[in-house]
Amino acid sequence: MSTARSRPASIRARRTTLVAAFIAAFVAAALAASPARAYRPFDQTDADVAEPRTIELEIGPVGYTHDASGDTFTPSFVFNYGVVSRLELVFDTHHAVIWGGADLARRRRALETALLAKVVVREGSLQGGVGPSVAFEGGALLPTIPAAGDLGAALTAIASQRWPALTLHVDLEGDRTRAGTFAFIGGAIVEGPNAWTVRPVAETFVARDGDGPTTVSGLAGAIWRASAHVAFDAAGRVARQADANVYELRAGLTWDFGI
């Protein structure tokens, strides 16, 4: 009997050891990667791209949202790949999967997925130079899963400027939505000193889809550079949309590595 009990215990011990080894290997690989930029928990982006042959994985934001439809959980991720100098490909599943809420049609479906390309047209302060960095990001807004809506398109102009005390990113975006309407989003990201290990961040934007209501959003949080290569972020967001308030908590991780 004692031998029969010891075998499952031994198997469990080996599994625990394997899990611990996997976690340790992940952390070691992350710490050996190239520097993380951590541009989540934002909805907008910056005028910089991943280095050539570098994958930048943004795990998050993982959001908890309270609005008129109830409480929802929205895990997300963004996959960036530096193709050549000044150019990256972006697969964005921002607010990709929704669990919870009163609207059953919104549950367990992919939303806001996009396949984009970003190109830096002027290298500036974000690339170690002088003056504003300027980039354009554009591509396809993919149909949701299960399939709904047509193929949409998005184009964003981005300008960024870094000073010793703060960094500013300004985004202007125009979309042809999956529903065939035209949407506009304009806003800005402000960050504290880039040299700080933990820097405060804030974001605001205004969005309007066709003849629908205008959304006004504000976010405040922080980015923690845990090492030269891994960064964590957390933020709270409040928005006003269609005469209703939206409250959201976000958290995420950024890790990039060469291949």
pLDDT at 4: 42
Low-confidence stretches of the chain (pLDDT beneath 50): 1-9, 11-12, 15-16, 18-34, 104
pLDDT at 147: 57
pLDDT at 70: 62
Domains of the chain: residue spans and CATH: 33-258 (2.40.160.40)
pLDDT at 155: 98
pLDDT tens string 95-153: 555 555 555 455 555 567 899 999 999 999 999 999 999 999 999 998 776 556 789 99
Residue 191 neighbours by CB distance under 10 Å: 23
Distance, in Å, from the CA atom of 42 to the CA atom of 233, rounded to the nearest integer, reads: 10
